[in-house]
Amino acid sequence: MNSRRAVFLVTLVALGFLTVVLRLVDLMILEHDWLSQRAYRQHVRSETVAAPRGTIYDARMRELAVNRRVQSVFGVPKEIRNPGQMAGRLSRVLGLKKTALAERLSDRDKGFVWLARKVDEDTVRAIQAMNLAPEIGFVPETKRTYPKGRLASHVIGFVDIDNRGTEGIERIFEDVLRGESGRVMKGRDALGQALSSGEDNAQTGHDLVLTLDEDLQYIVEDALNEAVEHHRARGGVSVMMDPYTGRVLAMAVNPTFSPEHRARPENWRNRAVTDVYEPGSTFKAILAAAALEEKRVRVSDRFDCSEGVIEVGGRRIHDHKRLGVLTFEEVVQKSSNVGMVKVAQILGSETYFRYITAFGFGEKTGLTVSGEVKGLLKAPKNWSGSSIGAMAVGYEVAVTPIQVLNAYAAIANGGVLMRPYIVSDVLDSEGRVVKRFEPEAVRRVISERTSRILTEILETVVQDGGTAVNASVLGNRVAGKTGTSRKIDRQTGRYSRTRYYSSFVGYVPSQNPKLAMIVVIDEPKGSIYGGEVAAPVFRKIAEHALIYLNIPREDTGHVVLVSG
């Protein structure tokens, strides 16, 4: 009996040792790789760290969009014993609902959940004081900030919570700015305490240098916002550019928004390129250029506008008053609708349309900002009997402010349509130029001779007897044109008698222009005429801009300060 028991015990022990040996073989040989990986996952956590986004600078290398190092809060649900209690402690600090936090922290299958992204330093310190590690931790991130606040917000745009470009330059140049993300490896012991960390090298995004000048941008925005408020208008747009290169020096839109606190999406739209309007009398310069270039009219040709009205295709087109017999120069200076209709009839629809398209209407300018549209332009085969008359005075065509400005820039620079651009350089992290954007001529639209003659005519618009005397600049000649156009009433489908666009577009100094600029005010109250509403804005901006650019007066050769 004792012998049997001894054999049984020996056999049992032998089987036990055999089982242990087999298990060790299984763990150390057969399942070694899987167990090693599991242990690594338990003690080492890999986290993606976004690369620092490239900086956006103005033309003088002043920062417009930068990164700030911040912390984001995460939780590890599978290590939290009481999600409700933890949520209660955190909800007061994070300013979040306890129920929402508890729900996130209750998923025991998850090893990582975001609780709050990019929190401020006070919040970080408050959570650190609670000693909640390893259940609650922090991940370093970067937050996009805009040190100039609302300045140029419609151009720059903004990013989402993950630093991905959502609007403006931030979106258009997302691939350039974003860089390449890295990885952070964090080790922990059995108690969850951090042992070590290492970071793969993330590749910083490229920087952008814009053509915008911060000071000019401020001058333009300040004057535009003041005008919109003064005239109780719905909004406005003003854009400034170098007519010889197409460099956009400033682009302002009202209403505006803060890129970091963007509450109203309807204000994000860059109306300089996204919104179309019927330009009214500013479009007359295009017709004048075509007629002069084709030699169908001369400056001294006379047009009888004494009736103050003309009928075209059953539609009556009026002047604001009877202007008598006018030379072609006076037709433009006094903005006679009757005279311009007669010029259009002489030129003909096909030729007029050819020049309209040559000046860039009906197509996008190619400016690299969000949402540019090409406008609305009908081919002559789709014109009605009255279309030639309507288009002569800037109706039945829908344009963007940037298109109008670019067309005038072509008149100003001697007749060449340039492609406007707003990004000057792409730089790497060492400040080296990776890509440079150069001025690009699209096509010649009129001769230098026509440009010179038309400029002299447009100068008279800003002189005594013209519609834009309020656009005159002290010491420098200005060439330009006013516009006052009715808006369509969406309820009736007819032109409103109370809602207008008031505009002025021009360049200065007119014989050697340093800047071209457009001002459009949407639905001003009280005064409605472009010469009374938009022209003074042009003057205010131009006078301050010329001083800033150190452009001397033509009459004295000196730079003279202005007040106000």
Amino acid (one-letter) located at 498? T
- Find, among 505, 485, 261, 527, the residue nearest to 394 by Cα: 485
- What b/e string do you get for 377-411 counting C-beta neighbours within 10 Å, with b at 16 or more? beeeeebeebbbbbbbbbbbbbbbbbbbbbbbbbb
Q: Would strands 63-75 and 136-145 be described as parallel, antiparallel, or unpaired?
A: antiparallel
Q: Cα–chain-centroid distance for residue 336?
A: 36
Could you give the C-alpha distances from 256 to 150, 220, 225, 310, 504, in angstroms and in order?
7, 13, 9, 42, 21
Q: Which two tokens stand for residue 63?
A: 């920062």
Q: Which two tokens stand for residue 197?
A: 């960390």
**Inter-residue contact 508 to 515 (CB < 8 Å):** yes
- Find, among 458, 463, 464, the residue nearest to 481 by Cα: 458
Give SS3 for 251.
Answer: strand
Q: What distance in Å separates the CA atoms of residue 98 and residue 412, rounded to the nearest whole number?
A: 64
Q: What distance in Å separates the CA atoms of residue 392 and residue 414, rounded to the nearest whole number?
A: 23
Q: Which two tokens stand for residue 348?
A: 């003909």
**Backbone conformation region of residue 327, classed left if phi is above 0, alpha if psi is from -120 to 50, else beta:** beta
Phi, psi of 206 (to 5 degrees): -75, 150
Q: What distance in Å separates the CA atoms of residue 512 and residue 507, rounded to the nearest whole number?
A: 9
**Inter-residue contact 240 to 216 (CB < 8 Å):** yes
Q: What distance in Å separates the CA atoms of residue 478 and residue 513, rounded to the nearest whole number?
A: 9
Angle at 22 between CA 21 and CA 26, to 5 degrees: 115
Q: What distance in Å separates the CA atoms of residue 378 and residue 557, rounded to the nearest whole number?
A: 47
Catalytic residue status for 281? yes
CA max distance for the chain: 142
Q: What distance in Å separates the CA atoms of residue 296 and residue 288, rounded to the nearest whole number?
A: 10
Q: What distance in Å separates the CA atoms of residue 563 and residue 444, rounded to the nearest whole number?
A: 40
The strand pairing partners of 119, in sequence order, are 71
Q: Is the dihedral of CA 404, 61, 514, 421 positive or negative?
A: negative
**Which of 72, 281, 336, 387 is an active site residue?**
281
- Find, among 411, 415, 376, 412, the residue nearest to 396 by Cα: 376
Residue written as token pair 């279309």: 387
Which residues are identified as catalytic?
281
